[in-house]
């Protein structure tokens, strides 16, 4: 088994526990794309992971950076134009997988990041905060706040 299987499996387990049965439509080592249907409609879930946070410069913060290839950016833009809801699940891994977290961005948030010309997403969480901060440009105060317990 590959390390990626553990991270993608954790996302699938969360979906299964919520009663959602996704179908894999694209898979690879660097990312996976799932589609599923709920009472609220059809969804597409684009999943990437980082097995470790960035080197810590501040004790109270943990950050992860997710880099998207040009092809992945084009793919995300195509998904944004689709009528289906898009979520991007970012598995924020830590040493000892039990401390890993899941940050889920919705279509509008992903579009803001891409429209800012970024090909990476940096996710940060301060110890004890109930939300991730996703940097679009500028400092921590300008970052998008994303609830930590979102599933899709």
Q: Which residues contact 125 (CB under 8 A, 6 or more apart)?
A: 61, 62, 63, 92, 101, 103, 131, 132, 133, 148
Q: What is the pTM of this model?
A: 0.85
Q: Does domain 3-147 have CATH number 3.10.20.30?
A: no
Q: Are 10 and 21 in contact (CB under 8 A)?
A: no
pLDDT of res. 128: 83
pLDDT of res. 58: 66
pLDDT of res. 56: 67
- Per-residue pLDDT band for 96 (boundaries 50, 70, 90) equals confident
Mean pLDDT within 101-106: 92
Q: Are 123 and 148 in contact (CB under 8 A)?
A: no
Cα–Cα separations (whole angstroms), residue 134 to 35, 112, 119: 24, 11, 13
Torsion over CA: 54, 121, 35, 27 (sign): negative
CA-to-CA distance for 13 and 29, rounded, in angstroms?
18
**Which one is predicted more confidently, 113 or 61?**
113
Per domain, the residue ranges of the chain are: 3-147
Dihedral angle of Cα 111, 11, 75, 85, to the nearest 10 degrees: -50
pLDDT of res. 111: 94
**Which token pair is 152?**
């899709």
Give pLDDT tens digits for 2-59: 777 888 888 888 888 888 777 777 777 788 888 887 777 778 899 999 988 887 666 7
Give pLDDT tens digits for 114-147: 999 999 999 988 888 899 989 887 666 678 889 9
- Per-residue pLDDT band for 78 (boundaries 50, 70, 90) equals very high
pLDDT of res. 48: 93
Mean pLDDT of the chain, nearest integer? 84
């Amino acid at each position: 088994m590959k390390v990626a299987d553990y991270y993608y499996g954790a996302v699938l387990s969360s979906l299964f526990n919520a009663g959602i049965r996704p179908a894999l439509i694209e898979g690879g080592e660097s990312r996976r794309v799932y589609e599923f249907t709920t009472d609220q409609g059809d969804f597409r879930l684009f999943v990437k992971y980082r097995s470790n946070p960035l080197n810590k410069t501040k004790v109270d913060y943990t950050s992860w950076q997710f880099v998207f290839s040009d092809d992945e950016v084009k793919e995300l833009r195509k998904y944004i134009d689709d009528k289906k809801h898009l979520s991007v699940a970012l598995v924020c891994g830590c040493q000892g997988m039990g401390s890993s977290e899941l940050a889920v961005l919705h279509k509008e948030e992903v579009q803001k990041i891409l429209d800012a010309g970024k090909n990476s997403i940096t996710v940060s969480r301060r110890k004890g905060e109930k939300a991730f901060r996703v940097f679009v440009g500028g400092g921590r105060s300008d970052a998008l706040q994303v609830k930590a317990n979102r599933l899709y």
